[in-house]
Amino acid sequence: MSAEKFDAVDIIGIKRDRGVLSPEQIDWTIDAYTRGAIADEQMAALNMAILLNGMTRSEISRWTAAMIASGERMDFSSLGKPTTDKHSTGGVGDKITLPLAPLVAVFGVAVPQLSGRGLGHTGGTLDKLEAIPGWRADLSNEDLMKQLADVGAVICAAGAGLAPADKKLYALRDVTGTVEAIPLIASSIMSKKIAEGTGSLILDVKVGSGAFMKDEENARELAETMVALGKDAGVNTVALLTNMATPLGLTAGNVIEVQESVDVLAGGGPEDVVELTVRLAEEMLAAAGLPDADPAAALKDGRAMDVWKRMISAQGGDPDAALPQARESETIYAPADGVLLELDALSVGVAAWRLGAGRARKEDAVQAGAGVRMHAKPGAQVRAGQPLMTLLTDTPEKFERAKEALENAVVIGPEGSRPAQKLIIDRIS
């Protein structure tokens, strides 16, 4: 057995003392951890040192490149058309990927949307789509390429071959209090997205109570770090900072978010979901070389719906099938007259999770029909006794804890007391 090039204790010491790791040290660290030469407790100590002391841009860039090098890189050059992708840092009611991928594909741009499942209060795109009878998330690379060529859009699970170092590192960060380290968040997201191989990437970085990043300063730092990583790797990358103080749309769950996405594809749906879908589509199309495309028109005239149906059918789903519905429901009513000033995203997300729409552990099952349907958004005039939310689940014993999560979710005040909130806070390029 050959001697290791470096020593894990020395690497930890450098970051503990606010030093800078060399490219060779970073390459060795990621490789050695992936193959088991660095123990979990040693990598946990290094992650904590990075959380506390940060990394330089060159360190983060090399760390990301080393994670990419741990696995395969996809290549879409044989498609003969531009490729683009979107990544959201996650929020409550964030079903944007569902209408967005087929909408962008209308214009001859390929969208390989590799997505994940939900954990905790943020929903997972694959969980939502798996509520459609027959739809499957797992595709081979060959199936993925064929669908991109034929339909133009794919939403599926990422293969195990993309950045396997990240899978191991993420699991460790999750149990050692180091998930919040911005260099590690940025490299985790961007290693997979760069390895995915699209020509451009649009990032939707959420800010607010229902987001991973609660304050704008940290969200901006994360966005700027990820945009820089994309540029360093030759991927045209832009980020939007978007508001997640209030849930997106009027649904938080799985089936009910699919239904709302179909409403958007049919030319209707909530204003905020339509606004963000169109804006992200404009960014994706501009990055792919089509700045004059009109995605709003493609939502209204049915072209995006046509691609949606073909995309769902190509993955074994029936886009016209009846969707499963929750067996039980309970309504929450407005306690007073006035203007709905706040509807807290985190509270709604936790309630949906407790009703069965999400999971506490990766291996948990989710209920397709569970979730929260909202009947008013901040700014709306409400009357005492008016329905504000309907809670949905198959297991009525879950209602009590869901209602506990919503105890302080709603603020109602006098008319004119709510300042307007922007959905899109800033663009970072």
**Catalytic residue positions?**
87, 166, 173, 188, 192
Strand partners, 157: 115
How far is the C-alpha of 413 from the C-alpha of 419, rounded, in Å? 12
Distance CA 61, CA 316 (A): 39
Give the span between the Cα atoms of 139 and 117, in whole angstroms: 15
Residue in the block written with tokens 């979730």 = 371
Cβ–Cβ < 8 Å for 227, 109: no
Count of CB atoms situated within 10 Å of the CB of 265: 25
Written as one letter, the residue type at 365 is: A
- The two structure tokens encoding residue 283: 């960014």
Helices (H) and strands (E) in the chain, counts: 16, 13
Instruction: Name which of 368, 359, 375, 371 is nearest 402 in CA terms.
Output: 371
Residue 243, sorted as left (phi over 0), alpha (psi -120 to 50) or beta, turns out to be: beta
Instruction: Tell me how far apart the alpha carbons of residues 280 and 390 are, in angstroms, rounded to a whole number.
Output: 29
**How far is residue 284's CA from residue 290's CA, in Å, rounded to a whole number?**
9
Distance of CA 302 to the CA centre of its chain: 26
Closest listed residue to residue 358, CA positions, set 317, 405, 313, 320: 405
Distance, in Å, from the CA atom of 223 to the CA atom of 71, rounded to the nearest integer, reads 25
Instruction: Specify the 3-state DSSP secondary structure of 126.
Output: helix
Q: Where are the alpha helices (DSSP H) in 78-215?
A: 97-105, 125-129, 141-150, 164-174, 182-196
Q: How far apart are CA 208 and CA 322, in angstroms?
A: 35
Q: Find the helix packing angle between 57-69 and 182-196, rounded to 10°.
A: 40
Q: Please list, in sequence order, all residues whose beta carbon lies within 8 angstroms of the beta carbon of residue 13, skipping any fewer than 6 positions away.
A: 19
81 contacts 211 by C-beta, under 8 angstroms: no
